[in-house]
């Protein structure tokens, strides 16, 4: 069923990490006429390029940038600028969204998750899919609940992968355009006044930081080549071996060859 098209702009809070898909999602949202009243993103861009920086998009459109701590404080104080919010949108946001933010919007609080639900909640979607030889991957949109990545599903987009070839980086590169497209499809429905579906997830798997860090350690009996690919995502640590109290990233010949080719193409040669 569809509702009447809104006669005023939708008002939204946009929360994201620095990523090219997230920066494009924010720009698209503004260009579609949504009034973004707050942008929550990391204060330090780190190694992010200009194309990845959500804060640069916010400044281009003169959007207020804030932290999640400040946002919760303003909500507690009853800031009138946060009244009449229609949407809270989390796009790769790295922190848990809590009450009262979950209940703030008049329409939806949504999270765009870079893995298929309910199979892969929390961290490590790319890594586990490769480690376990999944032949399908996906990206998801779900309603936010207090439990991380456990809210009712709006939509999951699945696509085939080759677990014998993918790396964590290559799978992320394939997933992000699909996550952006999913964001645009869902928000087009919201802007048009259509009601979003709610499908309960049922049982699923959740991976926290502690399990994720243990998964990356190379242990006896592991398929080392697969584990190397599953955690290959420079500049972050990859699959590691523990030696003399240190964790050292393991690289194989294939990845060394890719790095060498990258050096050659950027004229990094003696």
CA pseudo-torsion sign 72, 78, 79, 84: positive
Q: How far apart are CA 135 and CA 106, in angstroms?
A: 39
| DSSP conformational letter for 159 | E
Neighbour-count burial of 155, counting CB atoms closer than 10 A to its CB (0-12 exposed, 13-18 middle, 19+ buried): middle
**pLDDT number for residue 64:** 97
Q: How far apart are CA 88 and CA 84, in angstroms?
A: 11
Q: What are phi and psi of 210, to 5 degrees?
A: -65, -45
pLDDT (tens, 9 = 90+) of the chain, 270 residues, equals 444 444 689 999 999 999 999 999 999 999 999 999 999 999 888 889 999 999 999 999 999 999 999 999 999 999 999 999 999 999 999 999 999 999 999 999 999 999 999 999 999 999 999 999 999 999 999 999 999 999 999 999 999 999 999 999 999 999 999 999 999 999 999 999 999 999 999 898 999 999 999 999 999 999 999 999 999 999 899 999 999 989 999 999 888 888 888 888 988 878
**What global pTM score does this model have?**
0.92
Q: Which domains, ranges and CATH numbers included, belong to the chain? A: 11-206 (3.40.50.170), 216-265 (no CATH)
**pLDDT number for residue 44:** 84
């Amino acid at each position: 069923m569809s509702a009447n098209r809104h006669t005023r702009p939708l008002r939204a809070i946009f929360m994201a990490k620095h990523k090219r898909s997230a920066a494009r999602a924010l720009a698209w949202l503004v260009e579609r006429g949504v009034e973004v009243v707050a942008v929550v993103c990391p204060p330090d861009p780190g190694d992010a390029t200009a194309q990845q920086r959500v804060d640069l998009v916010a400044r281009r459109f003169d959007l207020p940038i804030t932290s999640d701590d400040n946002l919760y404080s303003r909500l507690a104080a009853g800031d009138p600028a946060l009244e009449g919010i229609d949407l809270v949108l989390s796009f790769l946001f790295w922190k848990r969204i809590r009450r009262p933010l979950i209940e703030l919007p008049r329409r939806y609080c949504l999270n765009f998750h870079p893995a298929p639900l309910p199979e892969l909640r929390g961290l490590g979607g790319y890594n586990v899919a490769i480690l376990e030889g999944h032949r399908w991957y996906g990206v998801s949109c779900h309603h936010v609940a207090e439990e991380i990545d456990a809210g009712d599903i709006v939509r999951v987009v699945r696509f085939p992968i080759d677990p014998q070839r993918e790396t964590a980086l290559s799978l992320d590169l394939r997933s992000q355009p699909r996550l952006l497209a999913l964001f645009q499809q869902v928000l087009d429905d919201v802007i048009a006044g259509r009601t979003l579906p709610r499908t309960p997830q049922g049982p699923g798997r959740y991976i926290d930081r502690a399990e994720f860090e243990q998964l990356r350690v190379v242990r006896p009996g592991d398929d080392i080549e697969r584990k190397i690919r599953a955690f290959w995502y420079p500049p972050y640590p990859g699959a590691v071996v523990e030696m003399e109290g240190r964790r050292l990233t393991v690289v194989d010949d294939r990845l060394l060859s890719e790095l060498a080719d990258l050096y050659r193409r950027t004229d990094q040669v003696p």
